[in-house]
Structure 1
Amino acid sequence: MSATAAPVASDRSDFRTVTVGGAKLGVATAVAVVAFLAASRLVPITAGLRGAVEALIVVGTGLAVAFLPARWTAARSTEGIAGAAAMGLVGTVVFSAIDIVVLRPFTAYPWTWDAIGGGSTWWYLPIWWMLGTFLAWVGGIVTARQAMVEGRAVQAAVFGPLVLVIVARLAGLGFAVPLEAGVAYTVVLALLALVALARKG
């Protein structure tokens, strides 16, 4: 008697999936932030080594935030994409709690971070929530629209920002390498989502 394989659940957006996945994502983000802070203080600045390590952490975290929610919700249609976006939002809220309770009491960030908001420690929270939700949303779109997300899409999400950072360096824009990497990654991921939607249409 042959056993029949159980169908793989897709487009999961139930409360437990979203909250548990979001909690894991928030903790992973906190670990990445601690790694970034450690690199900014411990890695030598010689020959751009520190900036390169920080940029790798930024892009690696961006990949996780964008594509893990889509994988955990098995995004294949609107329901799964929405679940991934919700998971991204929950992840940012969980990280915000860790940030307020754990990181800020240890004065983990330089004073210039708060100075951007006129001395307020709350200026970045709405931006953080929107960015985390956006990355998970477009990651869900790319995952749902491409049969082999581990192939071309992820490769483009890794190497695309590298190309843009090199262009920015050659153009002499003068921004910090981690900032350029983060902006480049967000732009590349958004373009991948637009291409995926265009092909669907």
Structure 2
Amino acid sequence: MTAGTTAPSTAVDRSEFRHILLSGTWVGLITALSVIVFLLVARLPLPAIVAALIETVIVLAAGVAVTFLPGSFAAARTTQGIASAAAIGLWGTVVFMAVDIILLRPFHAYPWTWDAVGGGSTWWYLPIWWMLGTLLAWLGALVTAGRVARGGDPSIRALSIPLLSGGVGVALGLGLSGLVYMPVAGGAGFALTLIVFALVVIARKG
């Protein structure tokens, strides 16, 4: 490289504290927006199948965001970046919790059945969400790093296609049959496909 030439930016495995907080804040706000849109759709007088299809799209889009945005923000390539992505995911759940407590709870956004799942508790899902948000971000970053290691395309679009395919397949298979609520089936299919891809990455490293 000649004198005066600036090397292109190739920052990877970003772990600066400020960057983690800022990135996690974006993830948390996107999560909150997804939840608000989902709740609004649930209150619209739509045919049940139409509402279920729209809600499934929202769940899958939110799943892509919370799974792959942290790894993208951290430019996850090694263990350091994967850990940073998990931290971004965790902070995102904390930001969502703040929005939930300040905005959604006072306006009674959730149906009574949501609290009934936790035996009447209004906070039962928050610890679960902390763990789930961190896990999804960690797995997403692991898959991202594995894709880069194989010389593949690490873009969110390329990474999300197989997971969305799994989510849509399970949603249509179980949702249309009436066995499982379609958005729940779509989210489960997305998560299971993600776990399979993450296990493949771990197996290849081993």
Q: Give the TM-score of the pair, scaled to structure 2.
A: 0.91
Query: Are 2:89 and 1:88 aligned?
Result: yes
Structure 2 match to 1:166: 172
Structure 1 unmatched runs, 5+: none
Shift of 1:34: 0.6
Write the deviation string for residues 43-89 of structure 1: whole angstroms up to 9, x where unpaired. 6125x111010000001000000101101000000000000001000
Structure 1 match to 2:145: 144
Structure 2 match to 1:185: 190
Where 1:6 maps in the other structure, the secondary structure is coil
The alpha-carbon distance between structure 1 residues 30 and 152, as it changes in their structure 2 partners (threshold 3 A), is closer
Identity, in percent, stands at 47
| Letter aligned with residue 56 of structure 1 | V
Write the deviation string for residues 90-124 of structure 1: whole angstroms up to 9, x where unpaired. 00011001101111000000000001111111111
Structure 2 match to 1:157: 163
Give the alignment partner of residue 196 of structure 1, picking from 172, 189, 201.
201
Where 2:12 maps in the other structure, the secondary structure is coil
Structure 2 match to 1:26: 28
Q: Give the TM-score of the pair, scaled to structure 1.
A: 0.93
Greater than 4 Å deviation, 4+ residue runs: none
Shift of 1:200: 2.8
| Letter aligned with residue 162 of structure 1 | V
Where do 1:32-181 residues align within 5 Å?
Answer: 32-42=34-44, 44-46=46-48, 48-147=49-148, 148-150=153-155, 153-169=159-175, 172=177, 174-181=179-186
Give the length in aligned residue pairs: 199
Aligned partners of 2:118 and 2:68: how far apart in 1? 30
Shift of 1:5: 3.1
Say what the alpha-carbon RMSD is for the aligned residues: 1.7
| Letter aligned with residue 29 of structure 2 | V
